[in-house]
Amino acid sequence: MTPEYNGWFSKKINDNIPRPSLEGARSMEEYLQVVPSELEIIKQDFKKQNLELSKKIEQLEEEKMHLRLDVDVQKLETEKLRKKKNKAEEDLDKLKASLDRIEELKRKVQELEIALQNSELRIEFLEASNERCNEQLHRSQDQIRDRDYIIGDVVAQIQEVADHLQTLAVQADVLSVRYELESDRG
């Protein structure tokens, strides 16, 4: 039995004529909607579960492939390690044979360390000399700035004197003109 049938059956009165009830009244669209049957719901659930299982199978297949790749990688690494072990044994034999050469190199390293110490001392000397030169340069720059300031003051004073002399020259010209005018009158 469907839910629609149960609803209809509970409403029937007098020879299967349902009486309208305003409770739970639905629109026409709601009446026309198809309610999925239980079989359809089960079918949809089955499809959903089937899809999920398919995805899981794909994931497991992918994981299986990755594991196979990991095994192959481990095999390759094991082979590399075997080769490295063999190489290390050969190298050990070579190292034993070259011990005298190492001792000779140690002596050369000691000589180079002494040369390096001498070079470091030379660098320290040059850095100190450079620092003195920089200090002297800064003092010279300070002296030049002081001289520039003094020269600027002197130029300003000369300009003031020149301006004053020009004013005096104009006043002298005015006085000269007045004197000539007064001498012409008198």
Q: Are 111 and 119 in contact (CB under 8 A)?
A: no
Q: Is the pTM of this model over 0.95?
A: no
pLDDT along the chain (186 residues), means of 10: 69 55 58 68 90 93 91 91 90 83 89 94 93 93 92 93 94 90 80
The pLDDT value given to residue 134: 93
Task: Specify the pLDDT at position 31.
Answer: 55
Give the strand pairing for 12-13 and 17-18: antiparallel
DSSP string, 23-74: TT---HHHHHSPPPPHHHHHHHHHHHHHHHHHHHHHHHHHHHHHHHHHHHHH
